[in-house]
Amino acid sequence: MKELILSASDNPAEFRNGSIFFVGTATIILRYAGFTILTDPNFLHQGDHAHLGHGMTSRRLTNPAIEIEDLPPLDLVVLSHMHGDHFDQIASEKLNKTLPIVTTHHATKALHKQGFTSLYGLDTWESISIHKGENNLKITSMPGRHGPIIIATALPEVMGSLLEFQEKGQTRFCLYITGDTLIIEQLKEIPKRYPHIDVGLFHLGGTRIFGILVTMDHKQGIEALQIINPDVAIPIHYNDYEVFRSPLEDFKDAVREAGLENKVRYLNHGDTYTFEVTVTH
């Protein structure tokens, strides 16, 4: 297992409460157990274009909830893959080049060329243990595939992520992030290995490139939610770009039809989901 040691904080870690702040697209700021984590940094503005590779771009339809200059001090970034709507030119220019980034091997190569120096690439099911004083965070790469096999080779390697926050060797809070994946058979292995997930962040949007679905739409989102079965599911990565063809309203309708309203929380840009942790798993 890979390891990363961060500078310890002077303040004791808070294990009873945490928060998830939704910046937009797949970008969230997670605060829990003394860690502050940024995911998939995307700070482009309405009208800007994200680069999707092979000369393709997509226009952003929304603004981020905050500017990159307003970020709190960060411990690390978790990056699902290297696409311009997940790691844009603003992040490339303005994030600290020494900030640790946990991601795919494909993304580490691209980030290295951009000058980033603290890069941790993971294979599927591989983990990294991150220590901050007496607190520990274990991040494990989850299965993901960014499109059907027929075009998968033209798309970047992608990973989901499982974050286990541990106190004295016991997991106190478990967060799953799908990454930009479609429903694949390997997702069914996740609940077998991790039967209790507190919160799941589901990348939706129904992204289509040349008419081909490459991120989960509302139907696949419901199927993924039923497979993973977290205590709470939060949809992200929707309505932000022209290539997102499955609006959040479709997912809301599907949630109601499936009778899953009690499991899903919806966040607008700038909203914060706060959670309490009372039981050691």
The CATH number of residue 59's host domain is: 3.60.15.10
Q: Identify the pLDDT of residue 148.
A: 82
Q: Which residues of the chain have pLDDT under 70?
A: 152, 279-281
Q: Which residues contact 111 (CB under 8 A, 6 or more apart)?
A: 82, 87, 101, 103, 119
Digit-coded pLDDT (tens) for 30-67 = 999 999 999 999 999 999 999 987 778 999 999 999 99
Long-range contacts, stretch 120-123, CB < 8 angstroms, 24+ apart:
120/2, 120/4, 122/2, 122/159
Q: Identify the pLDDT of residue 280.
A: 53
In a domain, 62, yes or no: yes
In a domain, 234, yes or no: yes
In a domain, 281, yes or no: no
User: How many domains are there within the chain?
Assistant: 1
Q: Identify the pLDDT of residue 279.
A: 58
In a domain, 52, yes or no: yes
In a domain, 60, yes or no: yes
In terms of residue numbers, what domain contains 232? 2-276
